[in-house]
Amino acid sequence: MKQSRVRRFRAGLVFIVLAGLAVAATCAPRLGAAGEPSAVTVLPWGPTPSAAFAYARATAIAAVGRALFNDPMLSASGRVACSTCHDPAHGFSAPNAMPVQIGGPELNRPGTRAVPGLTYAQFSPAFTEHFFESEDDGDESADQGPTGGLAWDGRVDRARDQARLPLLDPAEMANTDPAAVVAAVSRSASAGAIRSLYGGDVFLDPGRAFAAITEALEFYQQTPAEFSAFDSKYDAFLRGVAVLTEQERRGLALFDDPEKGNCARCHRSAATADGRPPLFTDFGYVALGAPRNRAIPANVERGYFDLGLCGPLRNDLADQKTYCGMFKTPSLRNVALKGSLFHNGVFHSLRDVVAFYAERDTNPAKWYPVGADGTVSKFDDLPAEFVANVNVEPPFGGHVGDQPALSGEDVDDIVAFLQTLTDGYMSGRKAATGSAASSQK
């Protein structure tokens, strides 16, 4: 029972083939009747022609998904595509350092959360309130608490269900209903490909057409080449084909050291027991007590709090007061390409984030508002009743004035290490900012 709750990570390519097989099983007869499979080539490693067909079909669907992802016609304004907020050059996070992005029919509605990067998001297991560790690291009986799902609060599991949210969110792509999306896509350059993949009459049934659109977006986001290349300098290092600099090596040691950074406790840095590369997240939920971001328009209202797992964007766990303030631990792969960090985008540089971890408790006046009388409003983005939910294990802890767990030099070393997590190192793909180029020796 407990074991069955453990969701295994999916290897992207294998999943595409399997997903393709499932789709082919339901659609092949219909397409066969239309004479479709004639275009199928049998791949050298393909066990059967039907597997090759499924693969070719999944690849074609992913290509449609790619076009849809980049198409602003999918929004009410005609000016916002998925890629407007999720820029491939920034690990599919925002192309700018604004804490939240602007959307809506008139392009004047700000969001309330920072845009997560989408690389490696496909590996998130489905959300569960009680996660039991797999055999990878030990104690199977320990309940790790809420784990998995998509978005900062895990309120959807599958990319196809997630796609509904931005398409219909009044502050994002702002379509009034799925039929509006379908109508726009039926007039787009992708319409022909969708008809040939899902049937010539697909647009006559908005429910079926919307499912096709969101499935295509999901297949695209599972494309290993763009979303999970595993070709950062750190991956090259793990495979023994690159050497970390002295500073990067020191940063890695501090990142892993339970008494120092202790980062790997949540942001896993070691390959799993069966040899899969690390994802730099355990998909768990933690309250870190990030400072309130006054640059988010919603925060002008003093009584408004984004409490993550317990609301307001997710509402099924609103009564679980011990979850208030918890957000999903993001993967740190490609984090150096992000302009805004943490769920509320309150930080804009890796150095600030790592220094916050080091000094939140030893120098809170540096991070939180200080009143005229010198009192620090620590944890100012949480109502007082939820402050007890905040994590106080290393690198946090200590008292005001204590020596922080990480020195200034340690912080620089960890930042140097984080910059080895940007994809494109091995393929030589050019990254938008920072790391990939500068970390090559």
Given the complex with ligand HEC, which of 172 and 215 has the nearer CB atom?
172
| Beta carbon of residue 118, minimum distance to ligand HEC (angstroms, whole number) | 5
Return the range that interacts with ligand HEC (CB under 6 A); candidates 128-136, 189-197, 315-323, 338-346.
338-346
Instruction: Please pick, from the candidates 58, 414, 416, 432, the single residue that binds ligand HEC as defined by CB under 6 A.
Output: 414
d(CA 404, CA 397) in angstroms, rounded, equals: 9
Q: Is 101 in the site for ligand HEC (CB under 6 A)?
A: yes
Q: Is 342 in the site for ligand HEC (CB under 6 A)?
A: yes
Given the complex with ligand HEC, which of 223 and 262 has the nearer CB atom?
262
Given the complex with ligand HEC, which of 167 and 436 has the nearer CB atom?
167
Q: Is 335 in the site for ligand HEC (CB under 6 A)?
A: yes
| Beta carbon of residue 8, minimum distance to ligand HEC (angstroms, whole number) | 18
Q: Binding string to ligand HEC for residues 108 to 127, with x set by CB under 6 A, is what?
A: ---x-x-xx-x--x------
Given the complex with ligand HEC, which of 24 and 266 has the nearer CB atom?
266
Among 416, 380, 415, residue whose Cα is nearest residue 299: 380
Instruction: Please pick, from the candidates 19, 62, 209, 288, the single residue that binds ligand HEC as defined by CB under 6 A.
Output: 288
Q: Binding string to ligand HEC for residues 14 to 53, with x set by CB under 6 A, is what?
A: ----------------------------------------
| Beta carbon of residue 170, minimum distance to ligand HEC (angstroms, whole number) | 11
Instruction: Please pick, from the candidates 265, 294, 321, 366, the single residue that binds ligand HEC as defined by CB under 6 A.
Output: 265
| Beta carbon of residue 150, minimum distance to ligand HEC (angstroms, whole number) | 4
**Secondary structure string (H, E, C) spanning the chain:** CCHHHCCCCCCHHHHHHHHHHHHHHHHHHHHHHCCHHHHCCCCCCCCCHHHHHHHHHHHHHHHHHHHHHCCHHHCCCCCCCHHHHCEHHHCCECCCCCCCCEECCCCCEECCCCCCCCCCHHHCCCCECCCECCHHHCCCCCECCCECCECCCCCECCHHHHHHHHHHCCCCCCCCCHHHHHHHHHCCCCHHHHHHHHCCCHHHCHHHHHHHHHHHHHHHHCCHHHHCCCCCHHHHHHCCCCCCCHHHHHHHHHHHCCCCCCHHHCCCCCCCCCCCCCCCCCCEEEECCCCCCCCCHHHHCCCCCCCECCCCCCCCCCCCHHHCCEEECCCCCCHHHCCCECCCCCECCHHHHHHHHHHCCCCHHHCCCECCCCCECCCCCCCHHHHHHECCCCCCCCCCCCCCCCCHHHHHHHHHHHHHHCCCCCCCCCCCCCHHHHCCC
Return the range that interacts with ligand HEC (CB under 6 A); candidates 49-57, 107-115, 198-206, 423-431.
107-115
Return the range that interacts with ligand HEC (CB under 6 A); candidates 51-59, 271-279, 295-303, 335-343.
335-343
Q: Is 311 in the site for ligand HEC (CB under 6 A)?
A: no
Q: Is 152 in the site for ligand HEC (CB under 6 A)?
A: yes
Residue type, 273: A
Given the complex with ligand HEC, which of 111 and 424 has the nearer CB atom?
111
Per CB under 6 A, contacts with ligand HEC among 348-407 are 350, 353-354, 357, 391, 395
Per CB under 6 A, contacts with ligand HEC among 157-196 are 159, 162-163, 166-167, 172-173
> How many chain residues touch ligand HEC (CB under 6 A)?
51
Instruction: Please pick, from the candidates 263, 279, 310, 317, the single residue that binds ligand HEC as defined by CB under 6 A.
Output: 263
Return the range that interacts with ligand HEC (CB under 6 A); candidates 5-13, 30-38, 204-212, 325-333.
325-333
- Reported residue count of the chain is 441
Given the complex with ligand HEC, which of 16 and 85 has the nearer CB atom?
85
d(CA 403, CA 393) in angstroms, rounded, equals: 15
Return the range that interacts with ligand HEC (CB under 6 A); candidates 138-146, 195-203, 346-354, 430-438.
346-354
Q: Is 296 in the site for ligand HEC (CB under 6 A)?
A: no
d(CA 96, CA 101) in angstroms, rounded, equals: 9
Residues that bind ligand HEC (CB under 6 A): 80, 82, 84-86, 101, 103, 111, 113, 115-116, 118, 121, 150-153, 159, 162-163, 166-167, 172-173, 217, 261-263, 265-267, 286, 288, 290, 313, 327, 329-330, 332, 335, 338, 341-343, 350, 353-354, 357, 391, 395, 414
